[in-house]
Amino acid sequence: NAGVTQTPKFRVLKTGQSMTLLCAQDMNHEYMYWYRQDPGMGLRLIHYSVGEGTTAKGEVPDGYNVSRLKKQNFLLGLESAAPSQTSVYFCASSFQGARREQYFGPGTRLTVT
Amino acid sequence: AQSVTQLDSQVPVFEEAPVELRCNYSSSVSVYLFWYVQYPNQGLQLLLKYLSGSTLVESINGFEAEFNKSQTSFHLRKPSVHISDTAEYFCAVRRSGGYQKVTFGTGTKLQVIP
């Protein structure tokens, strides 16, 4: 079991460039999430998905888009990167139900110059 | 709406000393409570959780947390810390029923000093 994997691990972008972060999980989880982690701010939810083909906005969705075409994959896109999007991005997944814990990937460190 | 407060951003403690990391939450409905740990350059992983029943929950590596409904707290404790406990600890709360968002605290960095 690989758990939750994220690609890439590091990336440097210039302002205005685009990129896609890939998250994959092999635990057959229904729910998947994208968070960003910034110093002193904890984790903030960007977008989430409760099932294949469905996505929803979290706390800080502006500037990001997501897709979940397959149950095991959740993609996060930045169409036009901005320096404010410099952060560490974490993907997580869980079984459905509020009692279930989330399983996190190792993170992607993104720098936008 | 729910919220989580971790009052201490950093807690230095000597090896083998006890430690308490504080977490307070607010919610108008029943919640589930979680502690996650993040080791350097890694993702978060579950340390322990309170769902119902006994208010004292334990982890496999010696941490424990007590749910106190009257004080709306879920403090994390360990009687004797080890160097390997150096990490950032996040308290999280989630309302019961259907899909509910998880609200994370801002984290407490535990630094164990040899």
Q: Distance of CA A29 to CAs A23, A33, A49, A52, B74, Å?
A: 13, 11, 11, 10, 27
As a whole number of angstroms, the distance between CA B2 and CA B97 comes to: 14
Closest partner CB to A101 (pick from B34, B43, B90) = B34
Set of chain A residues whose Cβ sits within 8 Å of the Cβ of B41 = 106-107
Q: Using the beta-carbon criterion (under 8 Å), do B43 and A104 form an inter-chain contact?
A: yes
At A82-111, the pLDDT tens digits run 999 999 999 999 998 888 899 999 999 999
Q: Using the beta-carbon criterion (under 8 Å), do A102 and B51 form an inter-chain contact?
A: no
Rounded to a whole number of angstroms, the distance from the CA of A28 to the nearest CA of chain B is 17
Write out residues in chain B with pLDDT < 50, as ranges. none
At A15-65, the pLDDT tens digits run 999 999 999 999 999 999 999 999 888 899 999 999 999 999 999 999 999
Residue B24's CB is within 10 A of a number of other CB atoms, namely 18
As a whole number of angstroms, the distance between CA A47 and CA A66 comes to: 7
Residue of B99, B100, B108 to mutate, interface with A, max A Cβ within 10 Å? B99
As a whole number of angstroms, the distance between CA B55 and CA B38 comes to: 24
Indicate the average pLDDT of chain A.
95
